[in-house]
Amino acid sequence: MKSQLFSRFLLLLPWVLIVIIVLDIDSSRAPLPALAPRGGGGGGGGSGGARPAAARAPPQRRPEAALPTIYAITPTYSRPVQKAELTRLANTFRQVARLHWILVEDAAARSELVSRFVAGAGLPCTHLHVPTPRRYKRPGLPRATEQRNAGLAWLRQRHQHLPPPQPGVLFFADDDNTYSLELFQEMRTTRKVSVWPVGLVGGRRYERPVVENGKVVGWYTGWRADRPFAIDMAGFAVSLQVILSHPKAVFKRRGSQPGMQESDFLKQITTVEELEPKANNCTKVLVWHTRTEKVNLANEPKYHLDTVNIELTSSEQSLKKKRASSFSLSWAPEERHQKIAR
C-alpha cells in the first residue's frame, strides 16, 4: 500500500513543480510603463524615456470652492423687454460657477416684477435700487451711472471688514448683451484689470484692444480711438482687490464727456501698460452688444382688455409715482435694509 502511494507521488511531483514554476514566472513579470507620446513639449530634463501613466494624467479641475467669485453688476430699468433680457442673462449666469449677481434697478423702490424674478432665478443675487435723477435722463448723457456706483458701494461695504486676501473679480454685465461661457473662464484669472474684444459695437462688427508681445498698445475702434481706454463697458473686468484698494473709484457724472465713462473709471485704477489681454491676445469675441429689437406695440389697446393679468413689465405709472431724487440702496429680502447718503 505504501509503495503504491509513493509511486503515485513520484508520478505527480513533476507536474506540481511545473505548475509552481509557471505561476512564479507570471507573478514576477512587472507591467510595462506606458509610453509618452513623442514630440511632446513637457518631457523636461532630457530623460527621453517612458513616463508612467500616472505622471502624465491631466490635472484635476480646481474645486469650485477654490475659484474666485465673479461679481456681475447689472443695471436694469422698466421696459417691455426687461423680463425677457433678464431671463436670458440669468440662464447664462446659472451655468457659471461661483457667480454673485448684483442686480440694480433704476427706480425709487424695488419693483414687484424684478423682486419675483430674483426670488425664482435660482442664483446668488443681491437686488438693489437707486433712481437716476431726472436731469440726467436727457439724450446723449451716460446711462446707468448711479446703478453701477450703487453696486460698487454694496461690494465695498460687504468686504470692508473681511480679512485679506479676498479673491474675486468684478464685471459690468449689462442685460442687453450676449455672453459666451468661455468669457467667464477668461476673466476669473484677472490679477488687476483684464480686457478683451466686444462684438457688434461702435458701428463695427467688433472693437478690440490691439496687442503686441502680450501688451496692449492701441485700440481697434470705430469711435474716438484717442480715448485713454477706447473700450466698451462689457470689455473689461477688475480684480476685487483693486476695487477695495481704490475706495473712491466710481463712475463720474460731473466733468465726464459722453462715451468717456469707461476711460474715466479705468484711469482711477490702472494704466494701459498694466492691462491683461484675454481671449487669445484679444483675437476672440466672447461678448456681443446684441440689444433686443425695439418692440412694436402699435396694436396694444389703450386700456387693458384681457381678462387675465399677464406679467411682462412693471407698471410705468406706478414707477412714476415712486420716483424720488434721494439716493437709496436696499439689500435683497434675505439681507438687511440700509441707506447710503450721497
Provide CB contacts within 8 A for 90, sequence distance 6+: 101, 117, 121, 122, 123
Write down the catalytic residue from 262, 300, 316, 334.
Answer: 262
**Residues forming the annotated binding site for UDP-alpha-D-glucuronate?**
75-77, 106, 143, 148, 174-176, 289-291
Rg (C-alpha) for the chain, rounded Å, is 31
113 within 8 A of 313, measured Cβ to Cβ: yes
Strand-strand pairing, 178-179 and 276-277 = unpaired
**What integer pLDDT is reported at residue 292 of this predicted model?**
82
211 within 8 A of 281, measured Cβ to Cβ: yes
Backbone angles phi, psi at 304, to 5 degrees: -70, 120
Tell me whether residue 262 is one of the annotated catalytic residues.
yes
Residue 248 gets which letter from DSSP? T
**Residues forming the annotated binding site for Mn(2+)?**
176
Strand-strand pairing, 276-277 and 193-195 = parallel
- Please give the angle made by the CA atoms of 282, 286 and 289, to the nearest 5 degrees: 110
Mean pLDDT of each 10-residue bin along the chain, 342 residues long: 63 67 56 43 41 48 77 96 96 97 97 96 97 89 94 95 86 97 98 97 94 96 92 97 96 81 96 97 96 81 73 50 41 39 34
pTM confidence score: 0.73
Distinct helix (H) and strand (E) counts, the chain: 9, 12
**What integer pLDDT is reported at residue 6 of this predicted model?**
62
**What integer pLDDT is reported at residue 1 of this predicted model?**
60
**What integer pLDDT is reported at residue 300 of this predicted model?**
77
Provide CB contacts within 8 A for 53, sequence distance 6+: 33, 34
